[in-house]
Amino acid sequence: MGVTRVAYEADGWGVGELWLDGEVVVWHELPRSAARLQGNRVAHPYAKLLQRYFAGADVSLSDVPLDLEYETPFLERCAHALRAVPRGETVTYGELAALAGSPGAARAAGSFCARNRLGLFVPCHRVVSAGGLGSYGSHGVSYKRRLLELEGAV
């Protein structure tokens, strides 16, 4: 089966993209504010879920199937542990490592989050450093803060 690209527009956030292998998410790009959706709009159920999420609805993405085959066993456990962190709550990198069964592997958990290719489906914005908010890759700390505020995190 081939990979299908689905673009979606989230009001006030921009355009995001999903890459799907059947119904399995293999990649998710968060919306960029400067982008506008061009061309055909595909009405995929996952895109609609994401649009509802960015509109502030309390939707669950934890049951959407993901491609985690490329991960090591520890990193796959990180992904599953992080998907279980409820909306509006945060964990530290050390707590994520402990939830994944490897206390003391905070740096490895941080590396996992830094290269997360599954966006909101593995919500790394819910992971903070022990000393503050932490970074959020190319999207920046303000994007992370905005996601956490959308979820009602303090």
Catalytic residues: 124
Q: Which two tokens stand for residue 31?
A: 């919306």
Cα(68)–Cα(127) distance, integer angstroms: 19
51, 72, 66: which is closest to 118 by C-alpha? 66
74, 86, 97: which is closest to 126 by C-alpha? 86
The DSSP secondary structure of 27-70, one letter per residue, reads: EEEEEETT----SPPP--HHHHHHHHHHTT-----TTS-B--TT
**Contact call for residues 107 and 130 (beta carbons, < 8 A):** no
93, 86, 99, 91: which is closest to 151 by C-alpha? 86
Helix or strand holding residue 4 (H, E): strand 3-10
